[in-house]
Amino acid sequence: MLIQIMNLLLQVLVSIAAGACLLRCYLQWLAFNLGAGQSGTIGAYIFPLTNWIVIPLRRIIPSIGRFDVASFLAAYLLVAAKTAILLLLSRAALSDISWLLLALIDFMDLILSSLVGLVLAGVILSWISAGSQIQYLVSLLVDPLLAPIRKAIPSFGGLDLSPLVLLLILQVLQIVIGNLR
């Protein structure tokens, strides 16, 4: 029971912190102005959640072009720490690198789950909050993923099936990742 409670608490905390690191990495990849030091911008929410781990890593690991390696690595390190803590609590051995592979699988699952959430948020916001700032931000994040699918499949009289296709692809990838676990 204690392990299940710790798993829940760690899962929530790590999902928020690692998800913020991944969002920071993705927004920088898209060359989005995070608005450092400006209130009311997305950076005002992401930086306090991520600076404590990203800034020290950035001193050691530089970005590669627009890819923020420090933010990406910070997200993985948070997931790896969660995995290590849970394995230690369950008294499992950490002697080999299998726990790092388990953390990598959890990390990939976090990425896929985040993408599923973004796609669903984009669809819902397009219905109920079209034209809002949050809908604009979610569209900015999801549209690069939908663009290749929109080119490949035709539109059916104003009905955009690309989010559904992307969700199916992400679900298949989650099944594959789940079976690796």
Let me know how many helices (H) and strands (E) the chain has, helices first: 6, 0
Distance of alpha carbon 104 from alpha carbon 76, whole angstroms: 7
Cα–Cα distance list, 55 to 34, 47, 71, 73 (Å): 15, 10, 9, 12
Which tens digit of pLDDT belongs to each residue from 78-108?
A: 999 999 898 888 877 666 778 889 999 999 9
Predicted confidence at residue 38, as pLDDT, reads 63
The mean predicted confidence, pLDDT, of the chain is 90
Task: Kindly report which listed range (7-16, 36-45, 135-144, 147-156) carries the lowest average pLDDT score.
Answer: 36-45
pLDDT tier for residue 168 given thresholds of 50, 70 and 90:
very high
35: alpha, beta or left? (left if phi > 0; alpha if psi -120 to 50): left
CB 81 within 8 A of CB 59: no
> Where does the pLDDT of residue 177 fall: very low under 50, low under 70, confident under 90, or very high at 90 and above?
very high
Average pLDDT value for residue range 146-152: 93
Read off the pTM.
0.89
Q: Which CB contacts under 8 angstroms, 24+ apart, belong to 103-109?
A: 103/76, 103/79, 104/76, 105/177, 105/180, 105/181, 106/79, 106/82, 106/181, 107/18, 107/75, 107/76, 107/79, 107/80, 108/177, 109/174, 109/177, 109/178, 109/181
HSE of 33, CA atoms in CB hemisphere, 13 A: 6
Q: CA-CA distance, 124 to 117, in Å (whole number)? A: 10
Give me the pLDDT at residue 36, please: 66
- The model's confidence at residue 141, banded by pLDDT at 50, 70 and 90, is very high
pLDDT for res 37: 61
